Amino acid sequence: MNRTTILTVVVAVASLGGAVAMRPGPAPQVSYEDTGQLLFPSFTDPSQAASLEVIGWDETAARNTSFKVELKDGRWTIPSHNDYPADGTERMGKAAASFIDVKKDIYRGDRPEDQSSYGLDDPTDPNAKERGQRITIKDASGTVLSDVIVGKKVEDKEGYRYVRLPDQKRVYAVKIDVDISTNFTDWIEKDLLLLEQDQVVSFMSDTYKVDESQGKVTGSDPLLVKKDAADPEGAIWLLGEGSTPIAGKELDSFKVKQAISGLDRLQIVGVRPRPEMLTLQALQSKGFFVTRDGSRLYGNEGEVKAICDDGVVYNLYFGEVTYDSGLALTAGQEGGEAAPKPEDEAAAKKDANRYMFVDVFYDPTLDTKATAGGNPDDAAGAKRAKQLSARFGKWFYVISDASFKQIRKAKAEFFKDAPAGSGASPASPASPAAPAKPKPAAPKLEKK
């Protein structure tokens, strides 16, 4: 290699070295003056929270959804569901705590056109592509404690979500554990009836139907059963006086307990406000009817009654089917038409829910716990019935078809085949079944 070639190589190597030295390195992470600062510095105590609102988007209905929980007069309610009582203390505390000490960890940009990629479009924008959830928490005075749009999860950082403040375009990735349910049933008291199955000493089921065209009740054949007082375990049930047995069958105590267990575990899927002054129209629209003298209520799919040992009597009336879904199911339509029955029979069964009317009263003659000679109004059962009546008197309820079928069974379902050679054994051996009595004609119902 001659000297010229060597110089050429040296110059080339030197040029390469210069090029490498001048090559730009990795772009430094952009940091702004607020990076690392708290997202909501003034929100330090979960107990400050007095209201929570979540605004989202229902893709199926192509409209906004709003779910709100608020503390009113010392009681948690759900304004988005006509102020239905909420069991909100623990759940609200957890939701509020999600936004305390959350920092603006990683800056991700200020370009509005990039917000869709982070799932941070305004949920109220009908033209948005990827909407986020806007979550707002306020204190008792209405002062905003936190207000943020929460978007997608950050793929490469576990526990991180994209967020932005509603009036700003800057996007941050933050470490936050936010799991706020907007499911109505997650916020309410799970034990609707406040009933323990061991309290029930007598149970009645009548699966009649209301013939609206004739204004008559048809198919009424009530089954009345009672606990065997001689059984210390309370596991044996007997036919009550006046209940007609089924030939060759005996009462199945397990099926009775199963129905009462359904009462104990009854959960609702929706509510409708009951007008203070009940009208025929309000009742009939839900499948409930009254006699002309107003003394008797009927549900178009029958009723059950549970009598407790403290004299509290529960009457549950089963009304019309509703095929509504979403907010229309849980809170009711807002001036819209009720959802039609699906054409597919399987879908119809799946989507079927049913209106229920609950009435509670106290009967001192059935109270086995009252003090002899005492004032009936002072009895614990009377006070419990008064509280329950106030609880149920404001609402029509919607229950699932599964709950309906567990509680409301055809009479034959409460019986099983009698043991071979025993003959029909419908009642307690010591208490033969009463002969069947002729049924009075069903009263005519009011028609509008």
17 part of a folded domain: no
Listed residues 156, 186, 216: the one ending a domain: 186
* Claim to verify: residue 396 and residue 281 sit in the same structural domain: yes
Phi, psi torsion values for 283, nearest 5 degrees: -75, -50
What is the spatial distance between Cα 287 and Cα 36, in angstroms, rounded to a whole number? 59
Confirm if 200 and 225 have CB atoms less than 8 A apart: no
Give the count of domains, the chain: 2
Flag whether 299 is in a domain: yes
Considering the domain architecture, whether residues 176 and 255 belong to the same structural domain is answered as no
Domain boundary among 163, 186, 209: 186
- One-letter amino acid of 235: A
- Among candidates 360, 382, 359, which has minimal Cα distance to 371? 382
Q: Are residues 279 and 404 in the same domain?
A: yes
Residue 109's alpha-carbon distances to 112, 115, 133, 163, 430, in angstroms, are: 9, 9, 19, 11, 83
Same-domain check for residues 137 and 226 = no
Distance CA 108, CA 116 (A): 13
- Candidates 114, 118, 56, 50; CA nearest to 88 is 50
pLDDT for residue 419:
85
- Say if 434 falls within a structural domain: no
Task: For residues 79 and 147, state if they share a domain.
Answer: yes
Coil, strand, or helix at residue 96?
Answer: helix
The answer to whether residues 215 and 143 belong to one domain is: no
Distance, in Å, from the CA atom of 430 to the CA atom of 171, rounded to the nearest integer, reads 78
Q: What is the spatial distance between Cα 327 and Cα 69, in angstroms, rounded to a whole number?
A: 15
Within a domain: residue 239? yes
Whole-structure pTM value: 0.81
What is the rounded end-to-end Cα distance, in angstroms, of the chain?
114
Phi, psi of 3 (to 5 degrees): -65, -35
Q: Given this model, what pLDDT does residue 429 score?
A: 40
Alpha helices in 86-199 (DSSP H): 89-97
User: Do 288 and 400 lie in a common domain?
Assistant: yes
Same domain flag for 371 and 294:
yes
pLDDT on residue 254: 95
Q: Which of 246, 202, 261, 299 is nearest to 414 (CA)?
A: 246
pLDDT for the residue numbered 310: 96
Helices (H), 80-237: 89-97
Inside any domain, residue 7? no
Whether residues 146 and 279 fall in one domain: no
* Structural domain that includes position 254: 197-417
Radius of gyration of the chain (CA): 32
Q: Are residues 171 and 203 in the same domain?
A: no
Place of tokens 């109270």: 367
Which distant-in-sequence residues (6+ apart) come within 8 Å of 310 by Cβ?
Answer: 199, 367, 368, 369, 370, 379, 380, 381, 384
- Asked if the structure places residue 29 within a domain, the reply is no
Task: Give bridge partners of residue 209 from the DSSP assignment.
Answer: 218
* Predicted pLDDT at 242: 86
Query: In this structure, is residue 5 part of a structural domain?
Result: no
Tens place of pLDDT for every residue, the chain, 448 residues?
444 433 333 333 334 344 434 444 444 455 566 788 999 999 999 999 999 999 998 887 778 888 999 999 999 999 989 999 998 788 899 999 999 999 999 999 999 999 999 999 999 998 899 999 999 999 999 999 999 999 999 998 999 999 999 999 999 999 999 888 889 999 998 899 999 999 999 999 999 999 988 889 999 999 999 999 898 888 899 999 889 899 999 999 999 999 999 999 998 999 999 998 889 999 999 999 999 888 899 999 999 999 999 999 999 999 999 999 888 899 987 655 678 887 776 666 677 899 999 999 999 999 999 888 789 999 999 999 999 999 999 999 999 999 999 999 999 999 999 887 665 544 444 333 333 333 334 444 544 4
Residue 119: left if φ>0, alpha if ψ -120 to 50, beta else—which one? left
Same domain for 255 and 282: yes
Question: CB–CB of 213/447 below 8 Å?
Answer: no
| 389 & 267 share domain | yes
* Inside any domain, residue 441: no
Q: From CA 139, how far away is CA 184, in angstroms rounded?
A: 22
Which of 186, 215, 234 is a domain's end point? 186
pLDDT for residue 60: 76
Judge whether 283 and 290 are in contact, CB under 8 Å: yes
Distance CA 50, CA 115 (A): 30
